[in-house]
Amino acid sequence: MDFEPWWLIAVPLLFGLGWVAARVDIRQMLSEHRSVPDSYFRGLNFLLNEQHDRAIDAFIEVAKLDPETTELHFALGSLFRRRGEIERAIRVHQNLLQRADLPDNQREQALHELAQDYLRAGMLDRAEAAFDQLKGTRFAPDALRALIRIHETERDWPHAIQAVQALQGLIDEPVPQAVHFHCEEAAAALAAGNTDAAHAALDAATHASVQAQQGGGAAPHVRIAMMRADLARREGDLRAQRLHLESVLSAHPEYAGLVAEQFLANHEARGTANEGLEKLEAHYARHPSLDLFDAIFQALRRQRGLAQAWNFARGALQRNPSLLGLDRLLEAQVAGEKAAQVEPGQQAAANVVTLNNPQADAASPWTPADDAVLMRSLIHKHTQRLDRYACQACGFKAKRFHWQCPGCNAWETYAPKRLEELNAT
C-alpha cells in the first residue's frame, strides 16, 4: 500500500479535534455540576439512607431554587404512592402546586398526581374535587374514569351516569357498567314508588346496553328483563310480567333459576299454577340447574304434596347427581316427618292431596327417618360450602346472586350457578 503524504496532516488534526471536544464536555459537566444546588445531593444522600422525610425537605428546597427539577419530584411522588407512602406523595405534589412559577402543563400534571394520591388514600371528596378541576385539560379522560369509580363507590348513580356521558362525549369508549348504573337508578325509583322514573331509567339502560355491548352480553339483558317484570307486577300487568320472564327463559336459559320463583308466582296469581310448573319442569329437563331444581321442588311440595316433590327429586338426582339436591330432599323428608309428629292432622291433609291428585304416589318416606337425619347431618356441613355463588374475579363467595361483587366491586363476575355446579364443569 502506498504512503499518502496528506496523512501526516490528517491524523494529528483528528487527534486535536478529539482533544478539543473532550475539553468542552468536561467544562460543560463542571458547569452543570456547579449549577446544581447542594441540597439536591443532600436529598439524594438522605434518600439512599432511607431518611425519607429529610430527603423530601431537601428536594423541596431544590424545587424552590431550581425550576428544572420538577420531573424529579414527579418521579419521587409516584414512587411514594406506589410504595403506599401516601402522605409523602401528597406532600410532594402539594408543594409543587404551591409554586407560582410552575408552567400550566406541569401544574395540571401535579394536580392529576395529587388527585390520584387522594384517591389512593380513600379521601374521596378531595379526589373528586381535584379530578373535577381536570375536566378541561389533557387529563380529562383519565379524570372522568376516576370520577366514575368514585361515584360508583359512593353509589351516586346520577353523577356516575353524567361522568359516563361526559367521557363518551370525549372519546368513543364503551362503559359496560353504565347499564347497571341505570338499573340501580331504576331500583332506587322503584323503592321510592316512582314508576315513571323507573321506566325512564330502564329505557336508558336498554339503550346503554346496545351501545356498550351491541347485544352480546347476557347479564345486562337479564337484569333489565327482571326489573321490567318486577315493574309490571307492581303495576298489576301480569301478562307483561310473564312475557319479560319468558324472554329470560328462552333467550338466556342459564339464568332460569333467578326468575323461577317470580315465574311460578305469576302463574299462581293468574290461576295457571300447573301450567307454570310444567313449563319449568320441561325447561329443567333441557337446562338443569340447582336453583331451578330447588324452585320446582318447593313448588311441588306446596301445590301437589310431598310425594310428587319426592318423585321429581328422585328422577332429577338420577339424571344429574348433586349433593345440594340430595340435601334439599333430605331436608324435606325430615321436615315432613317432624311436622307429622307435631301435628297429626297434616298427614290427613297430605292424604287428601294425594286422593285429589291421581298422579300422586303414596307419600311414603324414601329412607327411614333416623337414616335421613343422619345422612343430612353428614352432608349438610359440606353442602353449605357448595351452596354459594362465587366471584370469578376475586373469589368472594355469597349466599345470593349479585350483579356487582361485594368484595372487589367488579360487575357481572358472578355466574348464575352454585359452586357445586361450577366445580363439576
Q: Where are the alpha helices (DSSP H) in 320-365?
A: 323-342, 345-356
> Bridge partners of 397?
390
Identify which has the larger pLDDT, 28 or 44: 44
Cell match 333467578: residue? 258
Q: Burial code of 137-164, b = ≥16 C-beta within 10 A, e = fewer? A: bebbebbbbbbbbbbbeeebbebbbbbb
Q: At 352, is the pLDDT very low, low, confident or very high (cuts 50, 70, 90)?
A: very low
**Which range (107-116, 168-177, 180-189, 333-342) has the least confidence?**
333-342
Pick the closest to residue 211 from 252, 247, 164 (CA basis). 164
Distance CA 195, CA 255 (A): 25
Comparing CA positions, the residue from 117, 171, 176, 96 lying closest to residue 140 is: 171
Q: 304, 316 in Cβ contact below 8 A?
A: no
> Residue 390: beta bridge partners?
397
Mind spelling out the 3-state secondary structure of 189-228?
A: HHHCCCHHHHHHHHHHHHHHHHHHHCCCCHHHHHHHHHHH
Torsion of CA 393, 395, 401, 405, to 10 degrees: -50
Work out the pLDDT band at 353, boundaries 50, 70, 90: very low
Return contacts of 21-26, CB within 8 angstroms, 24+ apart: none
Q: Which of 18-27, 151-160, 211-220, 242-251 has the lowest mean pLDDT?
A: 18-27
Supply the pLDDT for residue 351: 40
For 35-59, what is the mean pLDDT?
66
- 405 annotated binding-site participant: yes
Residue (of 331, 298, 327) closest to 312 by Cα position? 298
pLDDT greater than 70 at residue 348? no
Whole-number pLDDT of residue 5: 60
Residue pLDDT, tens place only, 82-139: 888 899 899 989 988 988 888 899 999 999 999 999 999 999 999 999 999 999 899 9
**Residue 25 pLDDT level (bands cut at 50, 70, 90):** very low
Residue 344 scores a pLDDT above 70: no
List, in order of start, the domains of the chain with CATH numbers: 28-133 (1.25.40.10), 288-387 (no CATH), 388-425 (no CATH)
Confidence of residue 30 (pLDDT cuts 50, 70, 90): very low
- CB environment 333-355: b (16+ within 10 A), e (fewer): bbebbeebeeeeeeeeebeebbe
**Is 183 annotated to bind ligand?**
no
If one counts every other C-beta atom within 10 angstroms of the C-beta of residue 408, the result is 12
From its phi and psi, is residue 410 left (phi > 0), alpha (psi between -120 and 50) or beta?
Answer: beta
Determine the Cα–Cα distance for residues 110 and 99; give it in Å rounded to an integer. Answer: 11
In percent, how much of the chain has pLDDT > 90?
47
126 is written with which cell numbers? 378531595
Q: What is the pLDDT of residue 386?
A: 77
**368-423 per-position pLDDT tens digit:** 555 556 556 656 666 677 788 999 999 999 989 999 999 999 999 999 998 878 77
Furthest CA-CA distance within the chain = 129
Nearest by Cα to 329 from 346, 347, 349, 309? 309
Which secondary structure element, helix H or strand E, spans residue 390, and what is its range?
Answer: strand 389-390
Q: Tell me the pTM.
A: 0.77
State the Cα–Cα distance between residues 241 and 226, nearest whole angstrom: 9
Residue 76: is its pLDDT beyond 90?
A: no
> What per-residue confidence (pLDDT) applies to 220?
92
C-alpha–C-alpha distance, residues 336 and 347, integer Å: 9
- 376 neighbors 386 (Cβ within 8 angstroms): no
Pick from 4-13, 196-205, 231-240, 397-406: least confident: 4-13
As a whole number, mean pLDDT of residues 284-290 equals 91
Burial tier of 414 (Cβ tally within 10 Å: 0-12, 13-18, 19+):
buried
Who has greater pLDDT, 352 or 214?
A: 214
3-class SS at 288? coil
Distance (Å, rounded) from C-alpha 262 to C-alpha 247?
13
Q: Grid coordinates representing 305?
A: 304434596
Which pLDDT score, from 0 to 100, does residue 27 have? 45
Q: How many residues does the chain have?
A: 425
- As a whole number, mean pLDDT of residues 48-77 equals 70
Alpha helices per DSSP H over 122-194: 124-132, 140-153, 157-170, 178-191
In DSSP terms, 304 is beta-bridged to: none
Q: How far apart are CA 122 and CA 130, in angstroms?
A: 13
| pLDDT score for 35 | 46
In the chain, the amino acid numbered 57 is D
Higher pLDDT, 195 or 353: 195
Average pLDDT over residues 36-47: 63
Residue 394 labelled as part of a binding site: yes
Least Cα distance to 290 among 415, 118, 194 occurs for: 415
